[in-house]
Amino acid sequence: MPAINLNGIKLRNRLLTSASLLGYGASKSRLILYGLSPIAQWVPLERFGAVTTRTVTLQPREGHFTLKEDWSLAEFPQMLRLYGKALHKVDGGWLNAFGWSNIGIERYFDEYFPRTATLNRIVSVGGFSADEIEQLIETVNERAKPGEIAAVELNASCHNVNFPFATILEEALRRAVPKSKHPVILKVSPDEDYHWQANLAAQYGCAAITAINTVKGLRLDPETGEPYLKNRYGAISGRAIKPIGLRVVAELRDRGFKLPIIANGGIRTFDDCREYTWAGADAVSLGSSVWLAPMPMYALGPFEGIRIRRLISRMDRFEPPAAAPIWRADAPGAPEA
């Protein structure tokens, strides 16, 4: 049963999983594993505070990857080539450009929602207009009864779809959030004005924010100058962005932001979780630092699964500090008002 209540978001504990990396919370078949992560088969996802789905849109979207979910052994070379243009290992993390590749919200509810009832789910949604986001919220209302999911997360900060979300964000929140029968979480970007985004979330009734989304980046083949990824630019995740995530959470708290913050960015260990709570986070989310591993390290999946189980057990008993340290306004290095 949910033990934590963050402004209406009911969680089993304070440890969540991030959007995308576990797909839709279940495997398509015994040979096709969760999202990008075979490690998920060794972890009891039902024990997490909540599991966040891949971002879904109104219509199926190939993005910069593919909608194909079943691969024969003979097709594995083709699959690896597609991954090679959408995901690249970089120092301290990963660079990806999947571009909201997803099966669409109706197929998610038809094919995966009934099979993941034991999970505490957060449904991640994304759209390119206030109309689309409003329709997504209405669809979730129709397909998920109150209490069947923990929240809806609005992904309005993805770099890989090449869209200026700032142009639609305020109208989308104004129209969509009041209609939602479920708590709404806004995912904010460190590359945008996240103070503005967070203030809009509070103004229009969001229950919480997720901080942070990935950081925009680029890698080029040094021999040819060609970008490694199909989209040229990509999104950096992993250990490399942890200091950025901590800075964003701390800055928001230092400036008086009151809504719950779900921290995301480079989290792997229990100490990472504690560090984010000292910065001001109310819950934390595991992303690519845990679920992605370079081949052949995936062969160690059972051992990584044991480590994650231990982390869940520690988070089951964890309570964050009553209040994170706040910088005095006159302290050296304190943020400007």
Alpha-carbon distance of 95 to 93, in angstroms, equals 7
pLDDT of residue 108: 97
Asked which of 164-173, 277-286, 287-296 is least confident by mean pLDDT, the reply is 287-296
Per-residue pLDDT tens over the stretch 54-90: 999 999 999 999 988 777 778 888 888 998 999 999 9
The beta-strand segments (E) located in the chain are 4-6, 9-11, 15-17, 50-52, 87-90, 93-96, 121-125, 151-155, 184-188, 208-211, 215-218, 233-237, 261-264, 283-286
Taking Cα atoms as reference points, which of 318, 262, 319 lies closest to residue 17? 262
Domain spans of the chain, in order of start:
4-62+98-214+237-316
- Whether the pLDDT of residue 225 is over 70: the answer is yes
- The pLDDT of residue 154 is above 60: yes
> What's the CATH number for 4-62+98-214+237-316?
3.20.20.70
Q: Which residues pair with 51 in a beta bridge?
A: 17, 121
pLDDT at site 334: 42
Measured between alpha carbons, how far is 132 from 254 in angstroms, rounded to an integer? 34
Measured between alpha carbons, how far is 116 from 172 in angstroms, rounded to an integer? 28
For the stretch 17-43, pLDDT in tens is: 999 889 999 987 766 678 888 889 899
Residues linked to residue 56 through DSSP beta bridges, in sequence order: 125
